[in-house]
Amino acid sequence: MPLHQPAGQVWASGTDPRQDIERIFQLEAGSVRLLVEVTLSVLEIHDKTIRRHWVFGQTDRVCIGRAPDNDIVISAPVVSRHHAELVVQEQRWRLINRSRNGTYLNGEPIDDVLVSNGDRIGLATPLSYLQVELSYRRVWHYLDKDAVT
C-alpha cells in the first residue's frame, strides 16, 4: 500500500522486523531510526510461570546483576554485582557476560552473543533464567528533516 510522504518529512515502517530493526532509512528529507522493545521475564524453574518482568523501550543498554544500580536487580547470591549486559550493537541486541560465575544463553556458556526472541538467559547457572521477548510493533511516524540529528 503506497503512502503519501509530505514534503520535508520522513516516514518509517516496521513491517518486516527482521529487516527493519534499528535500520536507518535514508530518505531525501532525513533519516529515522526504528526501535525494538525488549521484555525480560524471570521464569519459575519448575513450571516456567512468570514471576516478574521488565519492559525496556527506547534504550540501548540493559544492565543485569545483584547491585542496586542495575536496570534488573537479581538478589540471588550466585549472581554477580554486575553480571551481564544487553546492548544494542550493529542494530541487534547482544548479551555480554560480565561475571566470573558465567552467563548462559539457552543452556550454553557465552561471552558475547546475539539474542533472539524466545532465548533464555541463565545467570551463574543454566537452570534459572530470564526469558527474552523482542516485541515488534508496526510503527508509522514521521519527523521533520530539521528534527533528525
Complete domains list, the chain, with CATH: 57-130 (2.60.200.20)
Residue 61, helix vs strand vs coil: strand
Which is more confident, 99 or 93? Answer: 99
Cut 0.75: pTM above it: no
- Burial category of 84 from C-beta neighbours within 10 Å (exposed 0-12, middle 13-18, buried 19 and up): buried
Report pLDDT for 40.
Answer: 81
Q: For residue 93, name the pLDDT band (cuts at 50, 70, 90).
A: confident
* Mean pLDDT along residues 107-117: 93
pLDDT digits (tens, 9 = 90+) for 20-31: 434 444 444 444
- The residue type at 125: T
For residues 149 and 93, the model is more confident at 93
Burial 64-76 (b: 16+ CB within 10 A, else e): bbbeeebebebee
pLDDT tens digits along 130-140: 888 776 544 44
Give the SS3 label for residue 143: strand
